Structure 1
Amino acid sequence: MAGPEKLGHMSDEPPGPDRSTKKARSITGKSPMRIAMGRLMRDKIAVVCLATVVFFVLIAIFAGVLQRLFGVDTNTVLPSQFLDLDGIPRPEYGPPYGAFTMEHPFGIAPRTATDNLAFWLEGARNSLEIATLATIVATVVGITLGLLAGFLGGVVDKVISFITDFFLTLPFLLAALTIAPIVSERFRDSANYVTIQVVQLVLVLAFFGWMGLARLIRGEVLSLREREFIQAARVLGMPTRRVLTRELMPNLAAPIVVSTSLMLPAFVSAEAGLAFLGIGITSRPSWGQTLTQATSFFNDYSLYLWQPLLGIVALVLALNLLGDAVRDALDPKTRR
């Protein structure tokens, strides 16, 4: 004879977690950010990528110190002292045809005989500097427009949405090809030409990279503005600026962090690509410039091409994988 069924057995839902277990006690009292950081630190791939990114950031920060430490610089020397008749470095001046030497650890460049390590370090600094500045500008623009469009709605939302769609229709490469020659011709003789060229590239990258974040923020705000805590803040007469900065922004931290972490590697790749095409930074060392010069020496001196290429691949891959790991760590539905 079957015994009486218990109420708990008639429910299709699995029993809730036992709060007395070790795992439940380990997360008790932790903020969502601390839980996300713990999940991120347990991801071995994320830790390796984080270490790689930190390595490149330290290189960018201390590029000048490292050049002095190795005794190298980006100054042009007399090529005939270091190159053969074909413009290829002689074996006694380092790899790949000679033994490793501390005077030129990465060898020297064909045709110009400049030090490869010095240009590699400066290229890392310039790429990260430009990509970081462009990411900051694009993030600020995207957050501002997304907040205003989602919270205010009405005409403001329609205008901002139209601007966003308009920028999405503009081809990035065509705009860069158009703007770069105009800026170069207009400010070529200026004493601040190098700074103007950097600012121009940062603005081009930023103003073609904020749209995705703006749309993401707008969608999140459209959902959040109907929540009880926002309605209560508005009923209490809290100013709009305070509602946006104190009530909405803390709840948008996760999508902003994820979007920013994925935006940075895209800008690193874009900067190198534009420099490769000759429309990026031409007045400062760049990985993209080195790639352009190295393509004609690939058969005879392939090391010249592989050095900046591996730097770009390692940095972009680490940033992308780290961005994916951050997104998974901040997603409460992920079980990692």
Structure 2
Amino acid sequence: MTQEPLPSASETPPESPAAGEPEVPQEIAGRSPLRIAFDRLRKDPVAIVCFGIVVLFGLIAIFAGTLSDLFGVSTDTVRASDRIDLATGFGLKGPPYHGFDPEHPFGVAPGSGDDLLANWLYGARTSLLIATLAVVFSTVVGVVLGLIAGYMGGMVDRVIQFITDIFLTIPFLLAALAVAPILAERFAGNPAVFEQVTFYSVIGILSVFGWMQMARIIRGEVLSLREREFVQAAKVMGVPTHRILFKEILPNLVAPIVVAVSLGLPALVAAEAGLAFLGIGVYGRPSWGQTINSAVQYFDTYALYLWEPVIGIMLLVVALNLLGDAIRDALDPKTRR
């Protein structure tokens, strides 16, 4: 009979507890709700794909200048006759009457000869920058007012709710259309100032009419949290109100805030493009909405001119919406997704 080799020191099995000794249970590592939500998102293929699309558009917006140089295109003004056939109004090369032009992969704008790829890249930067700044400002205002209204209650709550209802009753488009001619009349004489004014006015319009839903969501959550034991204990200990709001209550509102932001950002992207389409957008810089406004009249002849910004907006908005839904499901402890 062959004798089995003895295990080496590195292969020695773990010692079993001696007879009569109680077995020590293994330590169980806990996971925070955010870690559980993150693990759920990692296993969701839809969330991964949508996150990749959003990151791609973010990189396009950040490195629009670098990408333009890489493709050899720019937004610099050129003589229209260098790129446009004066008889037809369309490009001398490229669509719609010619084949693919490697010098201008997306073609050129009819009438002006502007490179459409450069306008598309910088338009992504404009749309994402405006939407991001607007969602940040509206979120801050909505969270602060919702915290104060829900925690203070009484007359303070009624006043804030009254102001919220007033803003909800104001038609968004009518207010935006009323602001545009005022700005044009006051600052149109100075193009450099007018460009900055229109840029920040769009952010202001979207922010002013975007905080109400956030305020209501936060107020409802705070009405429940202010009766919890840890808040009552902080009151008894004499913790200042601002510390209770921002140190005790606000950390428990991360989930609804993240969900509201993820669902509000695509709405603001579409809203910015819609305002630009109506002529209330930014001045002096490319925008997807402005491109759509200019391309509508050429749809029958040059459909690609219109589809380029529309496809960009559609992909970004759909990806943001699906990502927001995935984040909401991941943060919901009752979901089985």
TM-score in terms of structure 1 length: 0.89
The one-letter code of the counterpart of 1:88 is F
CA contact (8 A) 1:282 1:289 kept: no
Partner of 1:137: 137
Output one character per residue of 1:117-169: Cα deviation in whole Å (capped at 9) or x when no partner.
Answer: 00000110000000000000000000000000000111110110000000000
Partner-residue secondary structure (3-state), 1:159: helix
Within 2, Cα distance between the matches of 1:124 and 1:40?
26
Q: 1:227 to 1:109 in 2, by over 3 A?
A: same
CA contact (8 A) 2:95 2:107 kept: yes
Partner of 2:175: 175
Partner of 2:111: 111
Within 2, Cα distance between the matches of 1:52 and 1:109?
27
Following superposition, the deviation at residue 224 of structure 1 comes to: 0.3
Partner-residue secondary structure (3-state), 2:42: helix
**Is 2:300 aligned against 1:319?**
no
Within 1, Cα distance between the matches of 2:317 and 2:124?
12
Higher mean C-alpha deviation, range 180-189 or range 291-300: 180-189
Following superposition, the deviation at residue 192 of structure 1 comes to: 2.3
Partner of 1:334: 335
Partner of 1:12: none
The one-letter code of the counterpart of 1:226 is E
Partner of 1:272: 273
CA contact (8 A) 2:90 2:96 kept: no
**Is 2:217 aligned against 1:216?**
yes
Partner of 2:202: 201
Partner of 1:226: 227
Following superposition, the deviation at residue 184 of structure 1 comes to: 2.0
Following superposition, the deviation at residue 189 of structure 1 comes to: 2.8
Higher mean C-alpha deviation, range 102-111 or range 236-245: 102-111
Following superposition, the deviation at residue 102 of structure 1 comes to: 3.0
Partner of 1:86: 88
Within 1, Cα distance between the matches of 2:293 and 2:185?
22
Partner of 2:16: none
Within 1, Cα distance between the matches of 2:96 and 2:316?
23
CA contact (8 A) 1:224 1:230 kept: yes
Following superposition, the deviation at residue 28 of structure 1 comes to: 4.3
CA contact (8 A) 1:135 1:260 kept: yes
Partner of 1:236: 237
Within 2, Cα distance between the matches of 1:177 and 1:328?
37
Following superposition, the deviation at residue 323 of structure 1 comes to: 0.6
CA contact (8 A) 2:194 2:283 kept: no
CA contact (8 A) 1:298 1:304 kept: yes
CA contact (8 A) 1:88 1:300 kept: no
Within 1, Cα distance between the matches of 2:206 and 2:110?
31
The one-letter code of the counterpart of 1:153 is G
Partner-residue secondary structure (3-state), 2:102: coil
Within 2, Cα distance between the matches of 1:216 and 1:28?
33
Within 2, Cα distance between the matches of 1:57 and 1:265?
13
Within 2, Cα distance between the matches of 1:94 and 1:54?
30
Partner-residue secondary structure (3-state), 1:192: helix
Output one character per residue of 1:74-126: Cα deviation in whole Å (capped at 9) or x when no partner.
Answer: 12222223223121223xx3345444343111111111111110000011000
Within 1, Cα distance between the matches of 2:157 and 2:173?
28
Q: Who wins on radius of gyration, i.e. which is larger?
A: 2
Q: Which runs of 4+ in 1 moved over 6 A?
A: none
Partner of 1:160: 160
Partner of 2:284: 283
CA contact (8 A) 1:194 1:283 kept: yes
Partner-residue secondary structure (3-state), 2:285: coil
- Structure 1 unaligned regions, length at least 5: 1-24
Following superposition, the deviation at residue 216 of structure 1 comes to: 0.4
Within 2, Cα distance between the matches of 1:104 and 1:170?
44
Within 2, Cα distance between the matches of 1:304 and 1:79?
17
Count of aligned pairs: 309
Following superposition, the deviation at residue 42 of structure 1 comes to: 1.0
Partner of 2:246: 245
Identity percentage over the alignment? Answer: 61
The one-letter code of the counterpart of 1:189 is G
Higher mean C-alpha deviation, range 196-205 or range 132-141: 196-205
Within 2, Cα distance between the matches of 1:313 and 1:97?
27
The one-letter code of the counterpart of 1:282 is Y
TM-score in terms of structure 2 length: 0.89
Within 2, Cα distance between the matches of 1:98 and 1:242?
66
Output one character per residue of 1:166-204: Cα deviation in whole Å (capped at 9) or x when no partner.
Answer: 000000000000012112211223442211111111110
The one-letter code of the counterpart of 2:200 is V
